A and B are shown apart, each in its own frame.
Chain A
């Protein structure tokens, strides 16, 4: 790997307007750096997915946006406000699905819990809540502590959507949902986005489950962003190249892109390269490789490629 310089993907999304931004955000828990100089930019109206391994800081970031965590350095702006000192107003604008599916008020019935949520959100749309209740087959008479993980998630999603907030923060929203309910959730979210102007931030391990909705991607590792860019830019510029190469091939000189990952052996080689497709193809061809196929990566594959690269660098 000595000839290849790995560099992070772009993280600047330009001038906005942004629904959520953080600048040089830092948060430590004791000696652990949960967030380490994070510059998040979530464009207004985007469906932004945060991907990263466990402990990358996804949940801490989401909870910071909610004003549930006190950050130590940097700046946060959520719809123009700092959650550290205007937490109540910030939370009023957020539909939040926490990572934890357990209810605080376990002794309440689901119906009572939803009433509770409605009291706190003056913009609660009771008719919409009923419609979602039907689509999600929510039994309002059950006690919250008897709900399964998936049933809890549905109730939480309903509560997050029903007041039609300008910002949705979904921490592992599909966790515990079976295939049918997950599919229904995607359909509900699609309609919700078409009906109400909403910015969505999703944190998840299972990007493939929400990928069709996503239009922006942020890859988080060790409290820092490795990349933050529109989905289409990722699709267009982070590509996998398969090429046949001659025996004893020494590799391309300058590829005109940044190699994220290289594998393969002998005469067939696979590269994952960030860069202009034509330039990279030309570079490979000029070096004597016959490019057979170029294909974009799914968000999941892109994340794995980026994260495994940093993992190798760190070790």
Chain B
């Protein structure tokens, strides 16, 4: 027993690299499956755009793909993946029992954070690959990258339905740069919040379902009693995590039109990102300190 062998814990960099590899091994099956689905999707999209036979079967709308990263389904898919990823990352670890992770010579909280970080790196890589693939598919199928359109911004809802000319304002809109980053920030926040649930609760899916129901109830209450701030809040949440826009179909005297209640700004994105990611980080930090074996 010499001092050099006593209490020799591994270098944190080595542990992190190993966790990166372990998480990679853990998620490879699910990631492969997802890649297959995405690949089939892009084959279908390209097929529809290039083959007249398929064009005849599908209607006009589907022929031109518009890839707007801030809109559903482009946003919804990464966020859904980010929400599910922690379950795959923590596969095989009994989070509240004895598991190899706790038996290793690394401080438990630090080890958890290293693993969460490793999972996040994979998420970012997968997301980047997905967006690159989507861009490629859009280009090959002759679609449009981002939108370039005139949007009707609703200034006065009552006036608009009455036909007042200054109730709406047409705005030239092109997809801003930050909306290409939005999937990454939204997915990061979703991943951190889902990791919090996985680390803090024994039954994360149960809690996730509970939160979903609670959110739906809040939404319902906001709608039924027409509570403005509640509606506004749920709208923001939906936009940030689900890629749901502030656009809604409104019956105007000229016919039914899609109008925008709000056009998101870079400040909104930054403020919301800061809020949700900070919340997620705080959640993970608190959850990582939870005793694992009582």
Contact = CB atoms under 8 A, between A and B. Distances in A.
A–B in direct contact per CB < 8 Å: yes
Contact of B14 (A91, A93, A98, A119): A119
A98 B7 CA distance: 20
Interface stretch (A99-107, A252-260, A294-302): A99-107
Contacts of B14: 119
Contacts, number: 92
A123 interface: yes
A87 B99 contact: no
- The DSSP consensus for interface residues of chain B is loop
B158 interface: no
B107 A63 contact: no
A108 B292 CA distance: 24
B163 interface: no
Interface stretch (B32-40, B73-81, B90-98, B245-253): B90-98
B293 A93 contact: no
B8 A92 contact: yes
A112 B24 CA distance: 13
Point out which of A90, A96, A108, A120 has the most chain B C-beta atoms below 10 A from its C-beta.
Answer: A120
A278 to B, nearest CB: 41
Interface in A187-237: 197
B103 interface: yes
B106 to A, nearest CB: 5
Interface size class of chain A, counting residues whose CB lies under 8 Å from the partner chain: 35 or more
Contacts of B1: 166, 197
Interface string A75-110: 000010100001111111100101010011111100
B105 interface: yes
Point out which of B7, B8, B294 has the most chain A C-beta atoms below 10 A from its C-beta.
Answer: B7
A120 B92 contact: no
B64 interface: no
Point out which of B1, B15, B26, B292 has the most chain A C-beta atoms below 10 A from its C-beta.
Answer: B1
B5 interface: yes
Given A103-B100, A119-B18, A121-B105, A68 B293 contact: yes
Interface residues of B, number: 34
Contact of A92 (B105, B291, B293): B105
B6 interface: yes
Nearest to A99: B98
Given A119-B18, A121-B105, A104 B100 contact: yes
Nearest to A98: B98
A107 B26 contact: yes
Contact of A104 (B94, B110, B292): B94
B151 interface: no
Contact of B98 (A100, A121, A123): A100
Given A69-B293, A100-B98, A105-B22, A166 B5 contact: yes
B101 interface: yes
B9 interface: yes
Contact of B18 (A70, A103, A120): A120
Contacts of B91: 107
Interface string A20-56: 0000000001000000000000000000000000000
Contacts of A116: 18, 22, 100
B102 interface: yes
A122 interface: yes
A307 interface: no
A87 B110 CA distance: 12
Contacts of A86: 7
A284 interface: no
Nearest to B6: A93
Nearest to B104: A120
A92 B25 contact: no
A219 B16 CA distance: 41
A183 B94 CA distance: 32
Given A66-B103, A121-B10, A87 B92 contact: no
B15 A68 contact: no
Contacts of B15: 119-120
A116 B101 CA distance: 11
B7 A105 contact: no
A295 B291 CA distance: 49
B6 A166 contact: yes
A106 B92 contact: yes
A256 to B, nearest CB: 42
Interface string B104-144: 11111010000000000000000000000000000000000
Contacts of A92: 7-10, 105
A85 B240 CA distance: 40
19 contacts: A63-B98, A70-B291, A79-B7, A88-B9, A88-B110, A89-B105, A91-B105, A104-B92, A104-B93, A104-B100, A105-B25, A106-B92, A107-B25, A116-B100, A119-B10, A121-B105, A122-B9, A123-B5, A197-B1
Interface of A: 29, 63, 66, 68-70, 79, 81, 86-93, 96, 98, 100, 103-108, 112, 116, 119-123, 164, 166, 197
Interface of B: 1, 5-11, 14-15, 18, 22, 25-26, 91-94, 98-108, 110, 291-294
